[in-house]
Amino acid sequence: MTTLVRLALLCTLLAAAHASAAPPLSEDKKQALDEFKVAYRLAEAWPQMAPKIARDSLPRLEDATHADLDADHFPDQAHADAAHARVPALLAEGRRELEDALQRFDAEELAAYTAYEIYARLFETDEIRQISAFFASPTGRKLTEQAPAIMIESRRPGAGDVMAKHFDADELAAITAFWNSPVGRKMNQTAEQIREDMHAHFIERSETALQAVARALATKAEAQADAATAPK
């Protein structure tokens, strides 16, 4: 796996599939996870993922808005059809409203879920501490801070060796050593599973906000339908 691919995984922050009955965490592991949340900047994952969650939720939002309209009472079928026909044009507005709602979620709570429900199950206490030690180091902090900008720069034509432009030889050696270590390789191996479960949890977590936005869109669609079908 290349460094840039690893950075892509870092930008979305990584995490795992729902477990049914996880064993209680020891106090030692809880402390390690507390340190890990800070070192790995898990609270910053949600603001970065909210736009994607809103975008991925558009089919659910559309279905929920139609379902809301189906539950309402219209004077006749023409009014109902007119309201349903207006839903697609309202989805862009709904996506913005949903993203705004998601950005107001408690990022610390979502970081805790990622740490205690996902990483705690996939990694041992010593492994968690190794990850924290690297990402709390000057090189690890620099990697985390610059990863989004490096990813954008790497996509430009003729970008060349982007990492070498941002890190000196000692820093590059430290980064390479971490990703080639057993815990670094384990992070690579679990990255896709982790990201998918993180996404699934956030989709589930967004359901209440999505239903509220759907209700608002349905109300607007009804109002527009009433105006369009009103006698001239």
b/e 109-125 (16+ beta carbons within 10 angstroms → b):
ebbbbbbbbbbbbbbeb
Could you report the per-residue pLDDT of 121-179, keeping only the tens digit for each? 999 999 999 999 999 999 999 998 888 888 888 888 887 888 988 999 999 999 999 99
What's the pTM value of the predicted model, to 2 decimals? 0.76
Could you report the per-residue pLDDT of 177-232, keeping only the tens digit for each? 999 999 999 999 999 988 888 888 988 899 999 999 999 999 999 999 988 777 65
pLDDT value of position 14:
41
Q: What Rg, from alpha-carbon coordinates, does the chain have?
A: 23
pLDDT at 24 over 60: yes
Cα torsion at 54, 55, 60, 65 (round to 10°)? 80
Separation in Å, CA 15 to CA 34, 59, 107, 178, 193: 16, 24, 15, 18, 7
Q: CA-to-CA distance for 106 and 114, rounded, in angstroms? A: 13
